[in-house]
Amino acid sequence: MDERIEEYFDHKLDEQKKRSFENEITASPELRDEIAFYLQVKTAARQDDRETELLRKHQLWTTLESPVNKNPWLIRIGVAAVLLLAACLFLFRNVTQTNLQQEAISYVEQSYSSMPVLMGPSKNQLQMAINFYNKRDYYSSIHSAESYLKSHPLNPEALKVIGFADLQLKKYDLALIAFHKITLQESLYQNQGKFYEGIVYLCRNAGNDGVRAKKLLQDVIDSNQEGKIEALKWLRKSR
């Protein structure tokens, strides 16, 4: 595995190396696959850590001696009540997240099933990418958009096409990379990068994705960016 992948996500690359690496990500499907595998391994490792911590706590709880001056039935009732409350909260949270996930998926299907055709030469690589996208040929769409990025680095429209094509293919990690490149472009007057990233997290709905989505959507609202109306609606339903 390319050692720069870990350095990139640990923010250890200087600005020049970081931009160079991001350009390579855009141009190399093999490198994107390596990044996707790396992120999957990291996610699995975090899950293992959580399960290990839960097991440790369970062992600690089962070895604690109950105070002799307390009614054991009251203790059992108290523990049962706490467990029931935790189960209810867990169930409510998961039902809410599942509903938001379905809403986000439906929103993508309705709002991004196709993209508007651009004015200009029909053989422009970006226009071809959009045409492929509208025909649901997402792999060809990504290829054409990546070709366009070679001469127009970090073009937000090309990155948008790549991001949503990857999202349609359920390649969530790659979609996040494309959209995050839009987010980083502070010179854009209307920057929907965070809104797009929030959509991906809602659609993926794994691990802490719900928390990440809420933070991004709140940023969209606070900065009054496009997507604010949907962000407000989703945040209200998540509470």
The string of pLDDT tens digits covering residues 66-78 is: 444 455 555 555 5
Residues 186 and 233 in one domain: yes
Highest mean pLDDT among 40-44, 76-80, 82-86, 180-184: 180-184
pLDDT of residue 146: 95
Instruction: Give the residue from 93, 118, 145 where a domain finishes.
Output: 93
Q: Is residue 13 part of a domain?
A: yes
Residues 84 and 130 in one domain: no
Amino acid at site 138: Y
- The Cα 116–Cα 58 span in angstroms is 55
Residues 65 and 29 in one domain: yes
Using a pLDDT cut of 90, give the percent of the chain over it: 41
pLDDT in tens, 95-132: 445 688 888 899 999 999 999 987 666 568 999 999 99
Residue 160 has pLDDT above 80, yes or no: yes
Residues 70 and 165 in one domain: no
Residues 145 and 226 in one domain: yes
Q: In the 3-class helix/strand/coil scheme, how is 85-147 assigned residue by residue? A: HHHHHHHHHHHHHHHHHHHHHHHHHHHCCCCCCCCCCCCCHHHHHHHHHHCCCHHHHHHHHHH
Which of 182, 173, 172 lies closest to 145, judged by CA? 182
Instruction: Give the residue from 40, 64, 93 where a domain finishes.
Output: 93
Give the CATH number for residue 227.
1.25.40.10
Residue 43's Cβ-count burial label (10 Å; 0-12, 13-18, 19+) is middle
Residues 119 and 88 in one domain: no
202 to each of 9, 12, 66, 209, how far by Cα in Å? Answer: 21, 28, 43, 7
Q: Is residue 103 part of a domain?
A: no
Residue 65 has pLDDT above 50, yes or no: no
Domain encompassing residue 12: 3-93
Residues 58 and 121 in one domain: no
Residues 119 and 162 in one domain: yes
- Residue count (the chain): 239
- As for how many domains the chain has, the answer is 2
